[in-house]
């Protein structure tokens, strides 16, 4: 069930500070997701580093728009319970990200 999602765009420095403070990780990341446990459905705050998105897009040779979509999808997948700690989990997450990204490229009848 759909719930409330908040996408908050921040700098690398801000997300690094949050990563250290809340998760005990001392490295840059593109997204940190916090679930709203008191609400029903898929709900949470998704903090996204725009600096990481831009850098990742360059590295992956894709558009920033495509990369921001991937990161947003990635965060929602975390809210749905998917993890990305093991190799198998990462592969599954990438498959689901790619499947969701393809939905952005579907032609609608009105586009034909």
What CATH number is attached to the domain comprising 96?
3.40.390.30
Q: Is the model's pLDDT at 106 over the cut of 80?
A: no
In total, how many domains does the chain have? 1
**19 in Cβ contact with 25 (< 8 Å):** yes
Predicted pLDDT at 3 = 83
Residue 74 backbone phi and psi in degrees, to 5: -55, -45
Within-domain flag for 112? no
Predicted pLDDT at 112 = 47
Within-domain flag for 94? yes
| Partners of 34 in the β-ladder | 45
Within-domain flag for 16? yes
Predicted pLDDT at 43 = 94
Q: Is the model's pLDDT at 50 over the cut of 70?
A: yes
| Partners of 6 in the β-ladder | 45
Share of the chain above pLDDT 70, in %: 93
- Of the two residues 60 and 112, the one the predictor is more confident about is 60
Neighbours of 109 (CB within 10 A): 5
| pLDDT confidence tier of residue 89, bands split at 50, 70 and 90 | very high
Q: Which domain holds residue 75?
A: 2-107
pLDDT per residue as tens digits for the range 3-25: 899 999 999 999 999 999 999 99
Helices (H), 2-86: 12-18, 50-60, 64-79
Within-domain flag for 47? yes
Q: Tell me the average pLDDT of the chain.
A: 91
Residue-wise burial string across 59-76, b where 16 or more C-beta atoms lie within 10 A, e elsewhere: eeeeeeeebbbbbbbbbb
- Indicate the pTM of the whole model: 0.87
- Of the two residues 39 and 51, the one the predictor is more confident about is 51
Q: What torsion do the CA atoms of 2, 9, 74, 51 make, to the nearest 10 degrees? A: 170
């Amino acid at each position: 069930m759909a719930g409330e999602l908040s996408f908050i765009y921040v700098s690398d420095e801000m997300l690094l500070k949050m990563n250290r403070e809340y998760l005990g990780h001392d490295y840059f990341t593109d997204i940190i997701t916090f679930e709203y446990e008191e609400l029903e459905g898929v709900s949470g705050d998704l903090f996204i580093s725009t600096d990481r998105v831009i850098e990742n897009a360059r590295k992956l040779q894709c558009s920033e728009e495509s990369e921001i979509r991937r990161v947003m999808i990635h965060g929602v997948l975390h809210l749905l319970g998917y993890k990305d700690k093991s190799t198998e989990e990462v592969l599954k997450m990438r498959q689901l990200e790619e499947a969701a990204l393809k939905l952005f490229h579907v032609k609608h009848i009105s586009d034909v």
